Structure 1
Amino acid sequence: MNFIARLRKLPPALKGLMFTFIPLAYYLFDKLNYSQAGLSAVLGFFTLTTLFYWRDILPHKRALFSGLLLSFLIIILLNIGFQSTLRDAFGVQQEDVIVVQSIFSTDMAESSEFFIQYARYISLNLALFLGGLVLFWFLFAAGPPPSTVMDKPKARRYWIAATVTILLLAIHFNPTLRKSNPLFYFPENYLRWQADLEEARQLYARLTVTNSDETLNSMIVSEGVGRRTVVVVFGESDTRNNWSLYGYERETTPLLEKVDGLIAFEDVIAADASTIGSITRMLTPATVEQSELWKEKPSVIVMAQRAGYKVHWITNQGTEGRGIVSILAGQSDRSVFTNKGGSRLEGTLDEAVLNPYKAALNDPAEKKLIFVHILGSHPSYNYRYPRTHAVFEGRYDDVVAERLASQGRSIWEITFRNMYDSAIYYQDYILSRLVNELIDRPNESAAWLYIADHGQDVAHNSDFSGHNRRAKEMWEVPMLLWSSDHYDLPGSDIAALRKRPYQADDLEHAILGLLGIEGGYYDSGLDVFSADYNLAQNFPRQLRGSGLDYR
C-alpha cells in the first residue's frame, strides 16, 4: 500500500488532527494570532472528525457526507483566509466592530473598490486557501477506501460517531468558539449590528436632548480666566498598588517619579469596577447612587463647549463608532481613534496617541480641553507593550516574584504579574511623554490630570488574574495632577491635598474646576482640587458589589 493510501486510511480523529497543522502554519508565519489559530484548529478538528466518522460508517451515504465534508472544509478554510486577509491588510480581527460595520453596510461599488485596492492580500490568501484545500482533500479525503473505523464492531462505530457529534455541538456552547464559526459569525453579527444601530440611535437621541438642558446656559468661564489648556488622561485596568511611585517594590514608574510638580493622590477610589460605569460617571453628573443620570444630563464635554472650550478626544480604546464611551466621545469637536486592532487582543500600542496629542496641543484655539484614553494595562497584558519594555518578563527571583511564590501563586500567575508590571512600565513612558509635552510649553496656562477607570487583580489575593470587583486592587487607582506656574491651583496645601480621600464619580466637578468653569453643574464641595472640598459630600464612598468599605 502506497503512502497516499495509508493517509486516506487513517482514523477520522487523526485526519481531523492533520487539519490542525493548517491554522498552525498560518500562526507560525504570523498570518493569524494564537487565538485565531487555536479556535480555527478546534473548530476544524471536531467538524471534520465528525464528518469523517459518519462518512465511513455509512458507506451508502458516502456521496452525501463527502459533499458535506468538502463544503465544511471550504467554509473553514475560507474563514481562515478571511481572517488572514483582515490581519494582513488592516491589522484587525473579524470580531472588530469596523469589520462588522463594513460587511453589513457596504454597497457593491465599495465592495468592488475594496477588491481592487487589496487585490494583493486577497490573491495571496486565496492561493493559500486553494493550496490547503487541494492538498488536504487529496491526501486525506479523496478516494473510495474507508478508514479503519469499519474494522470496529457496529455498535462501537455508532457510539464513537455519536460521541464526537455531541462534542462538536457541545463546544459551541462556548461563546468565543461559536463566534469563530462562520455559520454563526455572520448571522449573529448581523443581529448585533442591527441592535447596535438601534441602541446608538436611541442614545444619540437622548444625548441630543441633554444639549438643550437649560442649566447649561449657566455654565460660564470665571472672570480672569484667559488662554487655558486642560488635558485629562484616562488609564485602563491600572491599580496604584503596582506603581513604584506609590511604594511598589519594582521600579515600574521611574519616569513619572522624575516629573517636577507632579501630585500623586494617595487615597482615590474608582467610580466603578468597569470602564463604562467609570467613564460615564467621571464625565457626567451620574454618580454611584444615580448611575443612569448620564442619559439625562449633559456631559462635561458639552458643558466645556458651552463655556467656549474646544474639545479634543483621542483614544486608543477599540475602534470608532461603537459603545457608550465612543458615543460620548463623539460629542467632542474632534475625535481621533488610533486603534487599528482588536481592543482586547493585539490592538495598537499606546504610543499611537502621541502624534494626535501633539496636534491637539498645537491647535490655536484659546481654550482647549483634551481627553486621551489609552489602553494602559488592559488584558491581555503582553500586548500592551513592545519588546523593548518587557523588562519584568522572566523575573522569578526578585522580591515580588518570591513573595508571590511564598503565597502559593502558580508560575502561570507570576508570569501574568511580570507581564502586567511590564505594561505599567511602558505606560510610565507614555504618561511621561504626555505630561512632558505640556511641560515643554512654558507659556501655556495648563493642567494635566491622569486617572485610571479601574484597577486590576493580578495575583494580589489568590491564584487569579483579571477582573475581580471584590479585590481592593480593582478599586485603588492612581490619580496624578500637574499644573503650570501660570495656573492658580486651588487648595494650595499640597501635602494635605494629596492625602484627600476621594471617589472618582465626582470627577466632572474637578475637571470643571480646572477649566475655570462655574455654573449650575459645578459644586466646589465635590471638586477635590478646590479649597472648598467637603469630605462629607464625598462620603461614604461606595464600591458597588465589592463588599469593601472605604469610609
Structure 2
Amino acid sequence: MTHRISALHAVRESATSPWLAGGLLCALAWLFIAVGHEGRRVAQVLVLLMPLLVLLAVPLQSAALQKARALLAWLWVMLFVLDGVARGYLQDAYQAAPNGALVLGAAANTNVREGSEYLMTQWRTLGLWTAALLLAGWATWQCARALRRFGGWPGGARRSMQVALVLLLAVTLVAYASKPWRRLHPVAFWFDWAESVQALRKDWSNQGVQRLQAMDNARALAPRVAGSTPSTIVLVIGDSVNRDNMSLYGYARNTTPQLQALQQQAGAHMLVLRNAWSVAASTLPALHGMFNIPVQGSDHSQHLLAIARQAGYRVWWVSNHDDLAIEQQHAQLADVVQLVNRMPGRSSESLDGELLDEVKAALADPHERKLIVVQLLGAHPHYRLRFPENANPFDDHPDTVENQLIAQGRPGWVRGFRQEYDAAVLYHDSVIADLLRMTQASGAERTAHTAWMYLSDHGQEVGHTMNHAGHSQSTASGFRIPAILWRSEAFTPVDETLDDRPFRGDWIAFTLADLMGLEWDGQMRERNVLASGYQWQEPVLPAKVASFTR
C-alpha cells in the first residue's frame, strides 16, 4: 500500500516539475514495453520510443505549442502502453503472441456475437488489464500536462542538450530505416496485424477455388481401394476433451462409464490409445493437420476427404459447429453436409445429441463405401452449455478430485469450472457411446468392413497445472487428447499391445486410409499407428512435455 501511495505522490509531484514529468513518461512507456516484449526486443522498441525524448527536449515558448506537445507526448506514450497491454493480456491468458497462428486464426474467425461472448467469459483477466490501462492513461496524462510549463533548458546545458538531440535523432533514423526494427512499432505492427487478419479471411473466402484444386490434386494422385468389400468408416472428432478427465484413462471421477462398458464388451476389437496428442491447442490448426496430409515426392499436401471421394467413397460431414472457416476448409469437400447447429459462438446451446439422427441416416445409406465425419462441440467452453440442465453430478459434494484441487491451491472459480467440465465430459461419453453403438449395429454383417475412430481436436487446461480454464498452448493439458479405435469382426483383431504407442492427431489420416483400404503412390505408411512399421516422431509443441509416452 505504501508503494502505491508513493507512486501516486510522484505522479502528482510531476505536475510541478516538467523534468520529473518527462522522466515518468519514459518510465511508464518502458514498463509497458517490458510487459509486451522479451529480451533484445525490449531494447529495440525502446529505441523506437526515442522520438518522445526529442519531443520532450525541444524548448518551446509558445503556450499553444506547449499544449500541442503535451498532447502528442501523451498520445505517443499511449501507443506503447496499448501495445504492451494487448501483448501482456495475450501472454497472460494464452501464452501467445498477437501475430501467432492461434490469435490470428481466432481474430479472423470471430464476429460481433462471438466477440461479446468471449468478453463475458474472460472478464476477470480483461478487467485487470483494463484497469492497468486506465491507470496508465491517467498517470500519463498527469505527466503530460506538466510539460506545458517547460520553456527551456537549464543554464549552461544548451550545448550538451543540442549534441544529445543530434545523437538521438541519428539513432532514431537508423532504427526507423531498419525494417525488422520498424515493424515492431505499435502503429506498424498492428496495421500489419490487421492486414494479416484480412488476408486470412480473404483466403477463407477463396476456399471454393482451393476445394476444386484439392479435388484436382486427388484426381492426379489416383488413389485406389484395395479389395471390393463394402466399407463404412466413422470418424468422430470431439472438441476440447482432455483425456486426463476421462475415467477410461484413469481419472478419479466416473466421467466415461459407457465407453468403459463398451470397451469390456468389444475386447480385442477396440483399442484405446493411451498416449495420444494433438499438435495444436485450437480447433482450426488441429483440423488442418488432421485432413491435409503430405505425400512423398510431392510439393503439396492432399486433403483426405478429396482422396476418399476420388477413390469412390461417399463422404458425409455432420457437425454441431456453426463455423464458417471449418465449413469452407473441410465440410464442403464432402458429398453431404449436415450442420445441425445454427447458433454461432460459445453460447450455443445445441447439444451434441442433436446430430444422432443425421448420423443414423448416413449409416443407413445404401452406398457400399462410406466415410462419415462427425464433429462435436464436446467440452468446448462454455462448459455449462455442453450438458443438459441439472445434469452435473460433480457439484453436489466434495470428492477426491475436489480435495486434490484444494490441496493444489486452486481457487473456487477454477474448481467450479472443473466440475462443469467433467459434467460435459460425462455427457460427451453418452454421445460417443451412442455413436459407437450405432456404428456397430450398422456393421452387423460379418463380411462388411466397419470401423469407428474417435479423437479430440485438442485438450483443455482446467486447473491441471495452473489457475486457468480454457485453451492453453503453454501447458501439456492443451495437447493431451483421447484416441479410440473400434473395428468390426471383418478386420483382424487389434493387437492390444499397440495401446501404449504414442499417437499424433495430425497423423490420423494415415490410419483412416488403412481402415478404408486406400492406397496411393507416396503413401507414408510408417505414420499409420496400426502398421507394423510404425515410426513415431515427437511433435514440436510450444508447451513443455516431459514424456510423450505417459
TM over 0.5: yes
Question: Is the aligned partner of 1:258 residue 2:255?
Answer: no
TM-score, structure 2 as length reference: 0.60
Shift of the 214–338 alpha-carbon distance from structure 1 to 2, 3 Å rule, reads closer
Amino acid corresponding to residue 357 of structure 1 in structure 2: V
Deviations 1:57-109 (A, max 9, x none): xxxxxxxxxxxxxxxxxxxxxxxxxxxxxxxxxxxx96269xxxxxxxxxxxx
Q: Which residue identity does 1:548 align to in structure 2?
A: V
The aligned residue for residue 473 of structure 2 is 469
- Residue pairs, 1:86-165, within 5 angstroms: 95=113
For the Cα contact (< 8 Å) 1:234–1:372, is it kept in 2? yes
| Matched position secondary structure for 1:528 | coil
Q: Which of 247, 271, 281 lines up with 1:244 in the alignment? A: 247
Aligned to 1:309: 313
- Structure 1 distance, partners of 2:459, 2:439, is 26
CA deviations 1:273-299 (Å, max 9, x no partner) are 111111111111159xxxxx9x94321
The equivalent residue for 2:498 is 497
Structure-1 residue corresponding to 2:454 = 450
Q: Structure 1: any 5+ residue segments left out of the alignment?
A: 1-92, 98-162, 168-190, 288-292
Shift in Å at residue 310 of structure 1?
A: 0.1
Where does residue 278 of structure 1 map in the other structure? 286
Would you say 1:518 and 2:536 are equivalent positions? no
2:246·2:254 contact (CA, 8 Å) conserved in 1? yes
In structure 1, C-alpha distance between the alignment counterparts of 2:366 and 2:219, rounded to whole Å: 29
- Alignment CA distance shift 1:360-1:192 (3 Å): farther
Cα pair 2:459 2:477 within 8 Å, conserved: yes
C-alpha offsets along residues 310-368 of structure 1, whole Å, 9 cap, x if unaligned?
A: 0000011124xx11454311000001111122331233110111010001001110000
1:310 and 1:390 map into 2 onto residues whose CA distance is 39
Aligned residue for 1:387, secondary structure, equals: coil
Q: CA–CA distance in 2 between the matches of 1:214 and 1:281?
A: 17
Q: Residue 424 of structure 2 aligns with which residue?
A: 423
Task: Measure the CA separation in 2 of the matches of 1:214 and 1:507.
Answer: 18
Kept in 1: contact 2:319–2:374 (CA 8 A): yes
421 and 519 in structure 1: CA distance in 2 versus 1, 3 angstrom threshold: same
C-alpha contact 1:313 1:370 (8 A) present in aligned 2: yes
Cα pair 1:207 1:296 within 8 Å, conserved: no
- Count the aligned residue pairs: 354
With 203-212 and 226-235 compared, the bigger mean Cα shift is at: 203-212
Q: Report the secondary structure of 1:462's partner residue.
A: coil
1:346 to 345, 348, 354: 348
* Equivalent in the alignment of 1:356: 358
Structure 1 stretches (4+) deviating beyond 6 angstroms?
191-197
The amino acid across from 1:334 in the alignment is V
Give the 3 Å change call, closer, same or farther, for CA 473–201 of structure 1 in structure 2. closer
Kept in 1: contact 2:286–2:458 (CA 8 A): yes
| C-alpha deviation, 1:203, in angstroms | 2.9
Distance in 2 between the 1:214 and 1:418 partners?
45
CA apart distance, 1:195: 7.0
* Paired residue type of 1:255: Q
2:233, 2:211 → 1: CA distance? 24
Cα distance change on mapping 1:240 and 1:303 into 2, 3 Å: same
Structure 2 counterpart of 1:545: 542
Q: Per-residue deviation at 1:216?
A: 4.3
Alpha-carbon distance in 1 for matches of 2:196, 2:113? 11
Name the CA distance, whole Å, in 2 between partners of 1:386 and 1:364: 34
1:419 to 1:370, Cα distance in 2 relative to 1, 3 A: same
Contact 1:219 1:521 in 2 (8 A): no
* Structure 2: unaligned runs, 5 residues or longer: 1-110, 116-133, 139-194
CA distance, structure 1, for counterparts of residue 465 and residue 348 of structure 2: 27
8 Å contact from structure 2 (residues 235, 453) kept in 1: yes
- CA change 1:420–1:197 in 2 (3 A) is closer
Change (3 A) 1:330 1:96: farther
Contact 1:238–1:455 (8 Å) recurs in 2: yes
What's the Cα RMSD here? 2.8
Structure 2 residue aligned with 1:393: 395
Between the two proteins, what is the percent identity of the paired residues? 28
Per the TM alignment, residue 389 of structure 1 is displaced from its structure 2 partner at its CA by 2.6
Distance 1:411 1:513, change over 3 A: same
Q: 2:487 aligns with which of 483, 492, 516?
A: 483
Match of 2:284, SS state, is helix
In the aligned structure 2, how far is the partner of 1:252 from the partner of 1:313? 27
- Kept in 2, the 8 Å contact 1:210–1:296? The answer is no
Distance in 2 (alpha carbons) for counterparts of 1:192 and 1:96: 20
Quickly say closer, same or farther: Cα 1:296–1:549, change in 2 above 3 A: farther
2:239 and 2:374 map into 1 onto residues whose CA distance is: 11
Which amino acid is the alignment partner of residue 483 of structure 1? R
Give the letter aligned to residue 265 of structure 1: L
| Aligned CA distance change for structure 1 residues 348 and 324 (closer, same or farther; 3 Å) | closer
Deviation at residue 394 of structure 1 after TM alignment: 3.7
Q: Is the 8 A contact 1:394 1:415 kept in 2?
A: no
2:212 to 208, 211, 224: 208
Question: Whole-Å Cα distance in 1 between the matches of residues 294 and 523 of structure 2?
Answer: 13
Quote the offset at 1:475 in angstroms: 1.3
The amino acid that maps onto 2:441 is D
Give me the whole-angstrom Cα distance separating, in 2, the residues matched to 1:465 and 1:362. 40
Q: Supply the distance in 2 between the matched residues of 1:371 and 1:214 (Cα, whole angstroms).
A: 19
CA pair 202-94 structure 1, distance change in 2 beyond 3 A: closer
